[in-house]
Amino acid sequence: MSYETRNIINKIKKANLTGRGGASFPTALKWEMVKKARGKNKYVICNVSEGEPGIQKDYYILQNYLDTAILGMETAIEYLKAEKAIIYINKAYFKKFEKKLNEVIRGRKIEIFEKEHDSGYIGGEETSAINSIEGCRVEPRLRPPFPPTCGIFNSPTLVNNLETFYDVGLIVKNKYHNKRLVTINGDCLWTGVYAFDEEMTVEDILRKTENYPKFTFFVQIGGDAAGVVLNSNQLDCKVCGGASVTVYSVLKHEPFRLMKEWVDFFVKNSCGQCTPCREGTLRLQEILISKDKNWTIFSDILTNLPETSFCGLGSAASIAVTSYIKNVLLLLPSGKIKIPEADKKMLKEVFSL
Ligand code: SF4
């Protein structure tokens, strides 16, 4: 093991690097857990499933900085003395980058695993990814045990997002400057993927990219399905999760249709393993398309989803809708947003404002 590899944990710690897949777990700690875990073989999985709408940072890395991400993976293989690394990649990206990937990984202990077509968003959850690679049903596993001690083929497994490996590659090259990739999209002019200082607020990001709207707007940060919705007075916070900022013009988006789009995503992507998520998201969908919306039941389901769902997908299913109702729908003055007065009154009551 080279001096550089022996020293890598200290460098990752010093950089304060946290996982870029959404959970923000300290990277060095995860690597050390796999290193210390007992097991004859160890594995590395690079998660390139990028299943949440509105996030394109993995695509951006594949297109522009694949070599640096591969350097990060090789560093992990060497540090852990791992059997191999597996790039777990979604179908669309595989199709687009297959040739490039095969060229770059040639002669290295790195393989590509194409994500199952119908495994959706949940196929990107780390234990679902492990199940998928093992040929099992694509659904999350009960934890503990966690992948660092018992992952693929019951062996210690390091699962990191592509951006995390890219950042490790930058750390190895002494070129990491505490930046993270942020996808900007929605009703703005300069959409795309940008690298920003981790401490930058959403407002700073919108102003710096000249995307700060002149119209009445709200944003969704951390993904276009599970991201939290904030109004224009709440932008003094950092981006979170998968790191995206989506701008919505209030006038362009009909409230009930927008909520249904978020809920539809979770209905479609629920793996069906647990009742709260499988049934709860379906009931939310039914209420949103019904004539007489029962907001009390709607609110109950939203409250129960994070408390009773088996995995993060079900827990996240309520974030966008709840934050949109509380931060936008009920705070904007009447006239700015059009929903029937009776619905607004009920929503105010059940959401305790
Ligand atoms: S919350 Fe339950 S049904 Fe939903 S994706 Fe997770 S395990 Fe599957």
46-59 pLDDT per residue, tens: 999 998 899 999 99
Q: Tell me the per-residue pLDDT of 192-203, one tens digit each, with 9 for 90 and over.
A: 999 999 889 999
Radius of gyration of the chain (CA): 21
pLDDT reported for residue 337: 79
How far apart are the C-alpha atoms of 114 and 108, rounded to whole Å?
18
Residue 243 Cβ inside 6 Å of ligand 1? The answer reads no
* Rounded distance from Cα 100 to ligand 1 centre (Å): 34
Residue 301 Cβ inside 6 Å of ligand 1? The answer reads no
Residue 271 Cβ inside 6 Å of ligand 1? The answer reads yes
Q: Which structure tokens are listed for 211?
A: 């995307």
Phi-psi region of 134 (alpha: psi -120 to 50; beta: other; left: phi over 0): alpha
Residue 183: C-alpha distances to residues 53, 174, 245 (Å): 11, 24, 6
Report which of 168, 150, 165, 125 is spatially closest to residue 42, judged by C-alpha positions: 150
Average pLDDT over residues 62-88: 97
Contact criterion met (CB below 8 Å) for 255 and 220:
no
Mean pLDDT check: name the lowest of 212-221, 244-253, 301-310, 338-347: 338-347
* Rounded distance from Cα 77 to ligand 1 centre (Å): 31
Q: What percent of the chain has pLDDT above 70?
A: 97
* Rounded distance from Cα 271 to ligand 1 centre (Å): 5
Q: Is residue 6 over pLDDT 90?
A: no
Q: Is residue 30 over pLDDT 90?
A: yes
Report which of 237, 350, 344 is spatially closest to residue 298, judged by C-alpha positions: 350
Residue 140 Cβ inside 6 Å of ligand 1? The answer reads yes
Residue 139 Cβ inside 6 Å of ligand 1? The answer reads yes
- For residue 158, the cross-strand partners are 44
Q: Which CATH superfamily, name and number, covers 3-172? A: NADH-ubiquinone oxidoreductase 51kDa subunit (3.40.50.11540)
Peptide bond into 140 cis (omega under 30): no
Q: Is residue 252 over pLDDT 70?
A: yes
Average pLDDT over residues 213-221: 96
* Rounded distance from Cα 129 to ligand 1 centre (Å): 14
Residue appearing with tokens 């919505």: 248
pLDDT category at 1 given cuts 50, 70, 90 is: low
Q: Is residue 119 over pLDDT 80?
A: no
Average pLDDT over residues 228-256: 91
How far apart are the C-alpha atoms of 28 and 41, rounded to whole Å?
20
Q: What is the CATH architecture assignment of 255-350?
A: Up-down Bundle (1.20)
Instruction: Delimit the domains of the chain by residue range.
Output: 3-172, 179-252, 255-350
Instruction: Determine the atom of ligand 1 nearest the C-alpha atom of 122.
Output: 5
Residue 280 Cβ inside 6 Å of ligand 1? The answer reads no
* Rounded distance from Cα 47 to ligand 1 centre (Å): 19
Q: Is residue 353 over pLDDT 60?
A: no
pLDDT reported for residue 331: 87
Give the rounded distance of the alpha carbon of 184 from its chain centre. 14
- For residue 52, the cross-strand partners are none
- Torsion sign over Cα 202, 204, 208, 213: positive
DSSP 140: P
Residue 121 Cβ inside 6 Å of ligand 1? The answer reads no
Residue 314 Cβ inside 6 Å of ligand 1? The answer reads yes
pLDDT reported for residue 21: 82
Q: pTM for the whole thing?
A: 0.94
Mean pLDDT of the chain: 93
Q: Which structure tokens are listed for 223?
A: 């993904």
pLDDT reported for residue 123: 79
Residue 278 Cβ inside 6 Å of ligand 1? The answer reads yes
Q: Is residue 4 over pLDDT 60?
A: yes
Q: What is the CATH architecture assignment of 179-252?
A: Roll (3.10)
For ligand 1, atom 6, the nearest C-alpha belongs to 311
Q: Tell me the per-residue pLDDT of 312-329, one tens digit each, with 9 for 90 and over.
A: 999 999 999 999 999 999
Residue 122 Cβ inside 6 Å of ligand 1? The answer reads yes
Contact criterion met (CB below 8 Å) for 205 and 172:
no
pLDDT reported for residue 243: 86
**Number of CB atoms found within 10 A of residue 106's CB:** 8
